[in-house]
Amino acid sequence: MEAFESIKNYYKPIQPAVKADDGNIVYIEVKPSKAIENFVYCFWQLKTTNPLKEDYNYRVVSDGCIDIFFNHKDPVENFVMGFCRKFTEFPIGKEFDYIGIRFLPSAFPLLFEVNAKTLSHQSEELRHVLPDVSDWISSTIKVAATFEVIIQSLDDQLIALLERKDIQYDHRFFNALKLIFQKNGHLDTEKELTTGLSARQLQRIFNFYIGTTAKSFSNVVRFQYILNANPTKYSLKESKLYFDVGFFDQAHFIKSFKTFYGVTPSEAFR
């Protein structure tokens, strides 16, 4: 399990706190039990406490993860979202209550034997990908159940799945992944990922387990490193944190940040 622990210890995929001017939107993250913490980063809930005046545009920033999520008000509506190399934004209405599972990088393909590349850059109905899991959510999750009750049920189900699995993994891939995390995504993936994998093997295995190339994933890790530093508009300007991870000037950093976040750093951290 050491390979999986390195992901948990090195990588914390942040989705910035939801901002709502009227205070009628709540976003919650809850850590999983220790039995599955090497595979699941968190369970999350995004919901309204009161109806909004206008449709809400939900922005998901690039985090390198795959999520399963469903509509708590109608669990038959369940989905999986794959790796995204840029931010995603979509309207979700004036009232909503979504609950999800954020899997750590590579965990979803390992647990469910699904090629991550087939899910990249899209949200897909879960029934087309994992029909048994989709049916379980549809039949088991109750509209009246609390978030706490639901995440306990999800946690138990994932523990049972993990106990049934005989997971085989390539140490060379996990060594490459660990090196990317240790370097905060700032490395030449063609020259520095010398873990025993050829360039073709590296591309194939990253596509399968992550959903993109090692270089594209490293760029997301670099972006997440900035978010994990909990910067402010002032601290970014003064500390030049982006120089530490290979951005050669402010314009380069702002362009990259906007690709992953959807707005400029000044807008994000004002």
Average pLDDT over residues 145-169: 95
Range 237-241 average pLDDT: 74
Residues 187 and 116 in one domain: no
Residues 116 and 187 in one domain: no
Q: Specify whether 29 is located in the same domain as 61.
A: yes
Sheet of 40-48, strand order: 25-30, 40-48, 97-103, 66-71, 78-81, 123-125
**Do 205 and 138 belong to one domain?**
no
Q: Quick check: is 152 in a domain? A: yes
Residues 6+ apart with CB under 8 A from 77: 70, 71
145 or 239, greater pLDDT:
145
Model confidence at 19: pLDDT above 80? no
Query: Is residue 67 predicted with pLDDT exceeding 70?
Result: yes
**E-assigned strand segments in the chain:** 25-30, 40-48, 57-60, 66-71, 78-81, 88-91, 97-103, 123-125
* 6 is a domain residue: no
Strand partners for 80? 68, 124
At residue 7, does pLDDT exceed 60?
Answer: yes
Is-contact 263 227, C-beta < 8 A?
no
Residue 116 located in a structural domain: yes
Mean pLDDT of the region 261-265: 93
CATH number of the domain at 178, please. Answer: 1.10.10
Cβ contact 177:205 at 8 Å: no
Distances (CA, A) of 201 to 66, 180, 186, 195, 206: 22, 17, 21, 11, 8
State the angle between helix axes of 2-10 and 171-182 in degrees (0 to 180), rounded to the nearest 10. 20
Q: Domain check: are 108 and 132 in the same one?
A: yes
Question: Looking at the structure, do residues 117 and 176 belong to the same domain, yes or no?
Answer: no
pLDDT in tens, 34-56: 999 999 999 999 999 999 999 99
Q: pLDDT digits over 89-110, tens only?
A: 989 999 999 999 999 999 999 9
For residue 175, give its domain range.
171-268
Percent of the chain with pLDDT over 90: 74
Domain-embedded: residue 108 = yes
Residues 94 and 55 sit within 8 Å (Cβ to Cβ): yes
Shared domain for 158 and 176, answered yes or no, is no
> Does 154 reside within a domain?
yes
In a domain, 213, yes or no: yes
Would 50 be classed as within a structural domain?
Answer: yes
17-31, 70-84, 207-221: segment of lowest average pLDDT: 17-31
**Residue 258 to residue 250: CA distance in whole angstroms:** 12
The pLDDT of residue 21 is above 80 = no
Least confident stretch, 27-31, 164-168, 219-223: 164-168
User: At which of 134, 164, 194 does a domain end?
Assistant: 164
> Of 109, 139, 164, which residue constitutes the final position of a domain?
164
Mean pLDDT of 16-31: 81
Final residue belonging to a domain, choices 141, 164, 187: 164
Backbone phi, psi, residue 264, to 5°: -75, 160
| 4 domain residue, yes or no | no
Considering the domain architecture, whether residues 124 and 146 belong to the same structural domain is answered as yes
Task: Specify the pLDDT at position 1.
Answer: 57
User: Looking at the structure, do residues 33 and 126 belong to the same domain, yes or no?
Assistant: yes
Position 3 confidence tier, pLDDT thresholds 50, 70, 90:
low
* Number of independent structural domains in the chain: 2
Q: Are residues 117 and 185 in the same domain?
A: no
pLDDT band at 63 (very low <50, low <70, confident <90, very high): very high
Residue 52 and residue 97: Cα distance in Å, rounded? Answer: 13
Domain check: are 232 and 252 in the same one? yes
Are 110 and 146 found together in one domain?
yes
